[in-house]
Amino acid sequence: MRLTYRAFIGFLAFCVTGCTTLPYVGIKDDPRLETPAYKELRDLKPPTRQVVIAVYDFPDMTGQRKDGAGIASLSSAVTQGGHTLLIDALKNAGNGTWFRVVERNRIDDLAKERQIVRQTREEYQGQEANKLEPMLFAGIMLEGGIIGYDSNVTSGGLGARYLGIGASTQYRKDQIVVALRAVSTNTGEILMNVQVSKTVLSVGNDLTVFKFMELGTKLIESEAGMSVNEANTLAVKMAIESAVVELIKQGNNKGYWSFEK
């Protein structure tokens, strides 16, 4: 019985060590994760002409805060850099052929820098100084934001145990909703409006061993687990990319632009 007990202890140690050293299955350490939405956005056909577009902001309108265990967390549940993700999606549309994006989020900084350049040129070159080119204006403005973050939309789990050995799985589903609309700078009319939702999944797996050895005189208890949580920022990125794809398709259907034949 002594050999069986020691063998069992060695087996448990191997299992626990193995669980901590084996790589997570299905998780790719890729700095540029190519999601289906990003691939569809990049592979869009080029337009007949590029569209000049402006993005002032893409704020978080949910007001949601991160969950905390008995504490009041001031961190937001979703990213506050939505405009950066939107600009990245616009610049990648059709592999960079669809939009010319103008800087508007930090327009004050841009105006100050242009003023410095203008004054410096006039000071050292006089009246013959080369003038700055006029700033590019946009025919369409993109407005909207992250309008919804619903946590624990669905949660549950499944588990079983036999002779003190068992496993369980728990999951939780959250949902993020983004809204994107195109506004004409000429008339102020809302030309197109798109809303896209994205699911955020969290899954946890546990393995538990609870047994008495040597006629109940010794207790063996072991537990191992792993949780995989989908990144909220990645979910927002995918939702924004999907919204840009739908906006391009909607604009093509309404005749505001067209794909190159």
Domain contains 112: no
Residue 23 pLDDT: 40
Domain contains 119: no
Domain contains 57: yes
Q: Percent helix, strand and coil across the chain, each rounded to 5? A: 35, 35, 30
Residue 87 pLDDT: 92
Exposure b/e, 177-199, CB count within 10 A at least 16 = b: bbbbbbbeeeeeeeebebebebe
Domain contains 230: yes
Domain contains 8: yes
What residue numbers bound the domain in which 230 lies? 2-104+139-254
Q: Closest Cα partner for 141 from 105, 96, 110?
A: 105
Mean pLDDT, 10 residues at a time, the chain of 261 residues: 48 45 41 70 90 89 65 64 89 91 86 87 79 86 87 72 74 84 91 87 73 63 67 82 92 89 77
* CA distances to 18, 69, 169 from 225, in Å: 12, 20, 9
Domain contains 167: yes
Residue 213 pLDDT: 65
Question: CB–CB of 8/220 below 8 Å?
Answer: yes
Task: Output the pTM of the full model.
Answer: 0.71
Residue 182 pLDDT: 93
CATH of the domain at 192: 3.40.50.10610
State both tokens at 160.
């079983």
Q: State the distance between the two ends of the chain, measured CA to CA, in whole angstroms.
A: 79
How many structural domains are present in the chain? 1
Q: What phi-psi label fits residue 126: left (phi over 0), alpha (psi between -120 and 50 degrees) or beta?
A: left
Domain contains 27: yes
Domain contains 110: no
Angstrom distance (rounded) from CA 142 to CA 145 = 10
